[in-house]
Amino acid sequence: MSDCGINTTLDDKVLTLTFDRPEKKNAITADMYQALADGLVKASEDDTIHLVVIKGSDSAFCAGNDLKDFLENPPHSNDNPVWQFLFAIEACRKPIIAGVNGPAVGVGTTLLLHCDLVVASQSTVFALPFASLGLCPEAGSSLLLPRQCGAKKAAEWLMLGDRFDAKAAESAGLINRAVETADDVEATLSEWTQKLLKLPIESVIETRRLMRTPSESVRDHMEVEGDVFKRLINSDAAQAAFKAFLSKAK
């Protein structure tokens, strides 16, 4: 078990952040938030890191905030570890994939809105109990959840606080894939990791950035895409891909 409740490992261009506080169902403390923030900043800035994986244990992903620790370290300023983590996950340049089992409460759900690919098992229970705690949504979820899942479903989950499972999350578009077991979650993470690592990292980063860049109009976005496309077409990776394609076509 890690000292702070987050295991950070780097292996073959993949930075993995694992919630490791099983006795508390991976409820997050200030130290855990800081470790997550530090890991995401490192991933964003380190060119040797191509991918971030966030996961929990077989029985729990993240039960939200550790309320005792949260009240002892209330996030009143932007330099608090809570906000440092949320700013870091939003700003991360590298693709982020997540594997979810068991409870995913509060921030354990809203952080997934910033991930590119998410798989969850049938044991997963999502919940967003902000209103019942006298709070409002965080992590940009009041914007991102309606955008990704629709206004009516977001109202149901954020205002009523109804719990929902992986199938409902998949149907609404919160996650990419609902699977049966924790082993299936790991297998899916491995599949996605292998596929992403085979791709030119610059094209992945730019594709991700373009999908997250707001534009005033389709034409404006076309021009932004065009500028990137014109630059990438001369890259070593693109030229190698073209040559490989042409050699197969002969």
Where in the chain are all domains bearing CATH 3.90.226.10?
6-197
- Is the pLDDT at 73 greater than 90, yes or no? no
Q: How much is the pLDDT for 1?
A: 44
CB 106 within 8 A of CB 130: yes
Q: Could you say which architecture CATH assigns to the domain 6-197?
A: Alpha-Beta Complex (3.90)
By percentage, how much of the chain surpasses pLDDT 90? 91
Q: Which residues pair with 178 in a beta bridge?
A: 120
Q: How confident is the model at residue 250 (pLDDT cuts 50, 70, 90)?
A: low
Q: pLDDT digits over 156-191, tens only? A: 999 999 999 999 999 999 999 999 999 999 999 999
Q: pLDDT digits over 126-144, tens only? A: 999 999 999 999 999 999 9
Q: What pairing do the DSSP bridges indicate for beta strands 51-55 and 103-105?
A: unpaired
**b/e code 135-162 from CB counts within 10 Å (16+ = b):** eebbbebeebbeeebeeebbebbbeeee
Average pLDDT, the chain: 95
Q: Which of 43, 57, 34, 44 is nearest to 11 (CA)?
A: 43
What pTM did the predictor assign? Answer: 0.94
Residues 6+ apart with CB under 8 A from 218: none
Listing DSSP states for 85-107 in one string gives: HHHHHHH--S-EEEEE-SEEETH
Q: pLDDT digits over 1-42, tens only? A: 467 999 999 999 999 999 999 999 999 999 999 999 999 999
**b/e code 15-42 from CB counts within 10 Å (16+ = b):** bbbbbbbeeebbbbbbbbbbbbbbbbbb
Q: How much is the pLDDT for 2?
A: 65
Residue labelled with tokens 């005033």: 216
Please state the rounded mean pLDDT for residues 70-78.
Answer: 90
Please state the rounded mean pLDDT for residues 64-91.
Answer: 94
